[in-house]
Amino acid sequence: MFRMTETTTAKGSASMARLFGTDGVRGLANREVTAELALDLAVAAAHVLGERGEFAGHRPKAVIGRDPRASGEFLEAAVAAGLASAGVDVVRLGVLPTPAVAYLTIALEADFGVMLSASHNPAPDNGIKFFARGGLKLDDEVEDAIEARLKEPWERPVGAGIGRITDLADGIERYVDYLVGTVPNRLDGLKVVLDAAHGAAAVASPAALRRLGAEVIAIGDAPDGLNINDGCGSTHLDALSAKVIEHGADLGVAHDGDADRMLAVDGNGEPVDGDQIMAILALSLRERGMLASDTVVATVMANLGFKIAMEREGLRVVETAVGDRYVLEAMREGGYTLGGEQSGHIIMQQYATTGDGILAGLHLLARVAESGKPLSELAAVVRKLPQVMVNVRGVDKSRVGSSTELADAVSAAEVELGERGRVLLRPSGTEPLVRVMVEAETQEQADSVANRLAGVVSTALA
C-alpha cells in the first residue's frame, strides 16, 4: 500500500513559497513574526475580507485571542492597532484556546477572528492565524489575497471611521459553558491528571472537567509567558504518565500550547494517540446515532491499524493530505462529523468548526465514564502496527515521483509487506528532505524496510 504525498493547497495543487503555511503565519517572534508584519497583515485582512462582502451594511468587527507567550502581548497590540486603523471594531479576548476564538467569532457575530499562537512550538516562536465569519479557517485563496495586498496604498479612515478597541471579560466562562453543554454524561468518579502545557488551556480545561464532576490533578497549569510547551503538554507525555501512576489516576489528558489538540495516557501511563482517540469517539458517536454516514476522516499518516479497526467495525475512513485544514475541508464537503490526526487534532464538526482539544478530551472521558471500562480497554480496539519514520535530508525532493530506481524499490517493499503494511513517501513542504514512513507487522521489519528505502532515496535523489 504505497502512497507518495506532497504538501498541497486546499485545491490539491503543489504549494509555492508563501507567507501563510498550513496553519497561518508562524516563525520566530520579533525576528520573523514582527509587530510590523502583524500590523500589515491585520490591515490587509481587513481589506480583503471587506471586499468579499463580509462587512456588508455594518461596521466590521473582529475578535483577537492569544496564548500566554510573552510575544503575544506586543503582537496583540499590533494586530488591534492595524484592524482599528482600517476601520474595524476590535474585541480583545485575552488568553484562551484557539478553538475558543473560533467559537467566540460565532457567538459574538464577529466578521472574523485572529489567534496569536505557535501551537506546540517553543516559547520564542509565535504565529498569526485568521478565522472567517462563522469561525472557519480561511481558504488558501483568501490567504493568498491577504498576502498579495500587504503594504499596498490605501485610504485611511479618520474621525468616526476608525475602529474602537474593547475587552471581553468573560470569554473563558462562555466557552466553558458551551463545552460542558455538549457532553452527554457527567464524569463523576473519574480521577484525571491534566497537563495544560503551561498554555492557553490552563484555566478552561480544568474548569470544564471539574464542572462535570471529575477529580482533577492539574500540571503544566502555571504559564509565565516563557514556559509554554517546555517539557510538558502533548509533545512531552513522560511527566503526565508519571503523575497518573503516582496518583493512581484513571487516565491523563495533555494539550498543546493553544489547546487545539489533545493526547491521553491510560491508567498504566501508556500513551493513547489521536488514531485511538478517534476510534473510541467514532464508536461512541455511532452508538448515539451521531456519526454521519458511518465515516471518519483521517490523514494519510493515520496508522494502518486504525484503518483496519474501522473497517472491522463497519466504518469507512476517508483519507486526506496531512494537516487539519484538509481534514476539515473533507468533512465539510462530505457532511461528516468526526475527523482528525494522529497528533491529536480532533474535529467534532457537530460542535466545533476546528480542532478542539478540550472538547475532544471531555467526550473521551465521557465515553470512559459511561462505559465503565478503563481507557486501556477502549483503546485496544486499535491494534497499532509498528510505524517508522526516517527523514532523508539533502535530496532533490521534486524527483520523488519520477525516479524509476525509487519506484522499483518501493514496489519490492510493498511485496514484502503485503496487505499488513505500507510505505508512504512524503516530501517536506519546508525543507530539502523526504520523509520515509513504513508500517509493518513487526518493528524489526518496519525498521529494515524503512532504512533500506531511505538509502535508496539518498542515492536516487542525490
The residue to which cell 472491522 is assigned: 312
Alpha-carbon dihedral sign for residues 373, 375, 376, 380: positive
Task: Identify whether the C-beta of residue 255 lies closer than 8 Å to the C-beta of residue 98.
Answer: no
Burial of 62 from C-beta contacts in 10 A (0-12 / 13-18 / 19+): buried
Which residues partner with 375 through β-bridges? none
Backbone torsions φ then ψ of 9, nearest 5 degrees: -85, 175
Closest CA to 199 of 267, 128, 136, 258: 258
- Tell me the three cell numbers of residue 204: 478552561
Interatomic CA distance for residues 90 and 85, integer angstroms: 10
Residues contacting residue 86 through CB under 8 Å, at least 6 positions apart: 42, 43, 46, 47, 154, 156, 157, 163
Closest CA to 278 of 183, 352, 346: 346
Task: Identify whether the C-beta of residue 308 lies closer than 8 Å to the C-beta of residue 256.
Answer: no
Question: Is 119 considered catalytic here?
Answer: yes
Alpha-carbon dihedral sign for residues 434, 436, 437, 443: negative
Task: Identify whether the C-beta of residue 341 lies closer than 8 Å to the C-beta of residue 357.
Answer: no
CA–CA distances in Å: residue 80 to residues 39, 110, 116, 127, 294: 8, 14, 12, 15, 43
Closest CA to 359 of 186, 212, 205, 221: 205
Q: Which entry of 71, 119, 241, 343 is annotated as an active-site residue? A: 119
Backbone torsions φ then ψ of 66, nearest 5 degrees: -155, 160
SS3 (DSSP) at 326? helix
- Tell me the three cell numbers of residue 424: 508512504
Task: Identify whether the C-beta of residue 105 lies closer than 8 Å to the C-beta of residue 131.
Answer: yes
Please report, as a single letter, which amino acid is at residue 332.
Answer: R
Rg of the chain over Cα atoms, rounded to whole angstroms, equals 22
Maximum separation of any 2 CA atoms in the chain, in Å: 72
The catalytic residues are 119
